[in-house]
Amino acid sequence: MSDARFGLDRIARLATPLSLDGGASLASVEIAYETYGELSPAKDNAILVCHALTGDQHVASNHPRTGKPGWWTRMVGPGKPIDTDRYLVICTNVLGSCMGSTGPASLRPDGCPYGMSFPVITIRDMVRAQAMLLDHLGIPTLAAVVGGSMGGMQALSWAATYPERVRAAVVIASTARHSAQNIAFHEVGRQAIMADPKWRGGDYYGTGDPPTAGLAVARMAAHITYLSEAGLTEKFGRKLQAREVKTFGFDADFQVESYLRHQGLTFTDRFDANSYLYITRALDYFDLAEEHGGLLANAFRGSKTRFCLVSFDTDWLYPTAESRTIVHALNAAGAAASFVELHSPYGHDAFLLESPELNRVVDGFLRTNGHD
Amino acid sequence: MSDARFGLDRIARLATPLSLDGGASLASVEIAYETYGELSPAKDNAILVCHALTGDQHVASNHPRTGKPGWWTRMVGPGKPIDTDRYLVICTNVLGSCMGSTGPASLRPDGCPYGMSFPVITIRDMVRAQAMLLDHLGIPTLAAVVGGSMGGMQALSWAATYPERVRAAVVIASTARHSAQNIAFHEVGRQAIMADPKWRGGDYYGTGDPPTAGLAVARMAAHITYLSEAGLTEKFGRKLQAREVKTFGFDADFQVESYLRHQGLTFTDRFDANSYLYITRALDYFDLAEEHGGLLANAFRGSKTRFCLVSFDTDWLYPTAESRTIVHALNAAGAAASFVELHSPYGHDAFLLESPELNRVVDGFLRTNGHD
C-alpha cells in the first residue's frame, strides 16, 4: 500500500468545515489517524476502531510519547480478532483530543490556541469528523465499527447517524447515555482542573506550566471508576507501600494511594487538561435517545447494521444494565443484535485487559459478518 | 440539671495528656460536646452518640454556624428512639475536627496553630478522648454507644477498647476496616486539598484565604460515594438545571452538577481543610482486626456488650458485606449480636435520612437493653 493516505502517523485536513451539534462550524479540522492492513479492491473491508476518553490513534503501534505498545494489541493485529491480514483497520484520534486531531490546544485561524474558545463538541461530532475522514480516504462503507467505553458510544452513534455506511457495530462496556453518577464523577474532575490556578481559564498553553495538579486529581477520581471494588481489594487490599508499619503521616502509606498518585502523575505527561474538559463534556452530553425523539429504538429503526454488545459483570461505570437497555431498543427496532455479559474481576478496564472470552466474541462476530 | 458539665455547647479540657496510637502525646486536649436529658442517680443511663466524618456535637440542637437543626433529630430527642426523656445523651466533636475539639486548627502551646504539625490520629484516639471526657463527667459506663459510618467505627472501637464500660453498641452503615476503594476515594480528596496552592502545606490559618477550592473538590468526590446510583438517577437523572436545552458550555447544565457544586461550596463554609485530611487519614488507618492480632473476633472475645448492626442495601461505601463480616466475628467471639439489612434507595446517606425501619430497630434494641 504505497498510498500516502494509509499507514501510521497520518494527519488529514478535512476538506470542508465541520458542522457541530452545538451550532458552530469548525474550519480546517485535522484528524490524526493510523491504518493497518490493506484496503480491498472493493473497498469493503475497512474496520474503524474507536478509542476511549483518554485513548489515541495508536491502537496497534507504539505510543510515540510513552513508547508503550498500542492500547489494543490484544485485539488488533495479524491473526488477531480484528485481523489486519484481512481488514484495513483505521483508528482516529477523536476531535477535541490532543494527539494530533484538532482540539482546544490547536491553533485558531488567528494563530492563538483555542483554549476555552474551542466549541463544545459531542460524540456525534466526533463521528461526523470520522465520516469525513473516510470520505477523504475513499472508503464508502465500514465492515464494522468497534469500540469500548466512549469508543462504544461512537460505534452506536455511527450506526445511528450513518446506518447505510456501517455493516456491523461492536459496542463493548458502554452505554447509550451518561447517568447522573457518570456526570457527577466527570464534574468532580472538571472542577479539580478548573480549581487549579494554573488552568487560567484554559489559557495556559504559553506558560509552559499547565494545570497538572488539577488534571492529576481528575484522573485519580476517574481511575477509581475504571476498577472494581473486588479488583482493588485483590490487587492492593490494605497492603502498605514499601514499609512495614504505618508512618502516621500523609505519605502514600498504602499501595493503592501510591498507585493512584502514579496514575494521576503519568497521565499529565500525555494529556491536555482542556481536552479532558471537552471530552468529558461530550460524554456527559451523550444521550442517544434524546437525539431521536426520546426513544432509543428510534435511533436504530430499520437499521441493517448487525450489533454485538458486550458488558462485564464487575463494570460499575457502565454496568450490564446499560447494555441491556441498548439490546432492548435494538430488539424493539427490529435490528439484529447479539449480547453477552462476560465475567471479569477488573471492572470497566476489563475491555482493555487480557480477556480470551472477549477476543472469542469479537472474532466470532466479525467472522459471521457476511463478509467471510 | 444545674451541673455546668451538662447541657449544650460545652467544652471540657482533659485533665491529663492524651497518649496517641502514633506514639505522640497531646497535652491540653479540649473536647467540645453537648448533652441532652439527665444522668440517673445510678449514673447508668448515658448513651454516647458518635458522629460521622464531617459531623459535629450538635446531634439534636441547631448548628450554630448554619442554623440548621441537629443532624440526627430523627433519632435523638424526647420520645425518639434515643429518648432524651430516659437517657443522658452525649455527643462529642471528635478529636481532630474543627467544631471546638482540639484539631489542626487549634493553637499549640507556643500559640501557633498546629496545622500539619498536629499528630496523625486514629479512631481509637478519638475514642480514648471520649473516655477521658466521660471520666471528667463522672460517668463510669455507657448504656450504649451509637453511631453511623465513622460513628459506627467509634462504637466498634469503644466496645473493643473499653468492653467493661459499654453495655450495648449500635453500629450503622459502617465497617471494621477501610477497603482499598475507600482509601482511594479519600486519597483523591486529600490530593485535591494538597494540590490547592492556598493549602500552603497546611499553614493557611493566618491568611484568611483557606484552600476552599481543593476542599470543595474533595467534598464533591466523597459526596458521590454517599449516594446510590439509583438514588442519583431518581433525584436528578439527566435533568437540566433551570434551562430547557443544553448550553454547549461548561456551566452546570445538569442538576446533578449544580447540586454537587453546591455541596462542595457550602461545605467549605463549615469545615477546615486540615481537619478533613486528618479525619480521612484516621478512617483509612482504621482496621480493627489489625489492632487485635489480625483476627477481628479477637477484638470482641469475652465481650459482654450487646451489638446491633444495621446496613443499607444500596450503600456501596460500606456495603452490607462489611456489616456481615463484623457479625461473623462477633459470632465467633461469642458476643451477642443482632443484624439487619434495611432497604433504602439512598445509599450510605440513608442512616441520616427518614427511615422508620431504622428508628424501629434502634428503638427496639435499646428497649431490650436490660435497662428497662
Q: What is the pLDDT of residues B157-197, one digit of tens each?
A: 999 999 999 999 999 999 999 999 999 999 999 999 999 99
Residue in A with minimal Cα distance to B281:
A250
The answer to whether the Cβ–Cβ distance between A236 and B284 falls below 8 Å is no
Nearest CB among B195, B232, B238 relative to A196 is that of B195
Which of these, B191, B122, B266, lies nearest to B199 by C-alpha position?
A: B191
Decide if A254 and B183 are in contact by the 8 Å CB cutoff: yes
pLDDT-above-70 percentage for chain B: 99
**pTM metric for this prediction:** 0.96
Residue A264 has pLDDT above 90, yes or no: yes
One-letter amino acid of A231: G
Q: What is the pLDDT of residues A27-69, one digit of tens each?
A: 999 999 999 999 999 999 999 999 999 999 999 999 988 899 9
Express each pLDDT in B39-55 by its tens digit.
999 999 999 999 999 99
The catalytic residue among A303, A344, A348, A355 is A348
DSSP 8-state assignment for residue B247: -
Whether A284 shows a pLDDT value over 90: the answer reads: yes
Question: Which residues in chain A have Cβ-Cβ distances shorter than 8 Å to B230?
Answer: none
- Alpha-carbon distance B62 to A74, whole Å? 59
The nearest alpha carbon in chain B to A121 belongs to B248
Q: Taking CA atoms, what residue in B is nearest to A235?
A: B180
Buried b (16+ CB within 10 A) or exposed e, B136-165: ebebeebbbbbbbbbbbbbbbbbbbbbbeb
CA–CA distance, B7 with A365 (Å, rounded to integer): 72
Q: Is the pLDDT of residue A318 over 80?
A: yes
Cell numbers found for residue B63: 448548628
- pLDDT of B274 reads 98
User: Residue A76 has what pLDDT?
Assistant: 98
Task: Tell me how many residue pairs between chain A and chain B have CB atoms under 8 A apart.
Answer: 152
Q: Find the closest chain A residue to B198 by CA distance.
A: A197
pLDDT at position A232 is 94
Is residue B372 scored above 90 in pLDDT? Answer: no
Q: Which of A196, A198, A247, A248 is the best residue to mutate to test the B interface, defined by the most B CB atoms within 10 Å of its own CB? A: A248
* Contact residues on chain A for B188, CB-CB shorter than 8 A: 217, 220-221, 224, 260
For residue range A126-180, what is the model confidence (pLDDT) as tens digits?
Answer: 999 999 999 999 999 999 999 999 999 999 999 999 999 999 999 999 999 999 9
Asked if B260 is an interface residue toward chain A (Cβ–Cβ < 8 A), one would say: yes
Helix boundaries (H) for B92-167: 123-137, 150-161
Residue B144, pLDDT > 60, answer yes
Compute the half-sphere exposure of residue B279: CA atoms within 13 Å on the CB side of its CA.
29
Query: Which of B182, B223, B238 to mutate to probe the A interface, most A CBs <10 Å?
Result: B238
Cβ contact B238–A178 (<8 Å): yes
Binding-face residues of B in 228-247 toward A, CB within 8 A? 229, 232-233, 235-238, 246
Which residues from B are below 8 Å from A221, CB to CB? Answer: 188, 221
Tell me how close the Cα of B192 comes to any Cα of chain A, in angstroms: 6
From the list A149, A174, A303, A323, the catalytic residue is: A149
CA distance B278 to chain A (A): 9
- Any chain A CB within 8 A of the CB of B327? no
Catalytic, A315? Answer: yes
Mean pLDDT of all residues in A185-214: 97
Is B149 annotated as catalytic? yes
What's residue A369's pLDDT? 59
Please report the beta strands in chain A, taking only residues with DSSP state E, as ranges in sequence order. Answer: 10-13, 18-19, 25-26, 30-36, 46-50, 76-77, 82-83, 88-92, 144-148, 168-172, 306-312, 336-342
Q: In A, residues 181-200, which contact B (CB 8 Å cutoff)?
A: 181, 183-185, 187-188, 190-192, 194-197
CA torsion angle B235 B237 B238 B240 (round to 10): -10
**Longest alpha-carbon distance in chain B:** 67
Residue numbers of B between 146 and 175 with CB closer than 8 Å to A: none
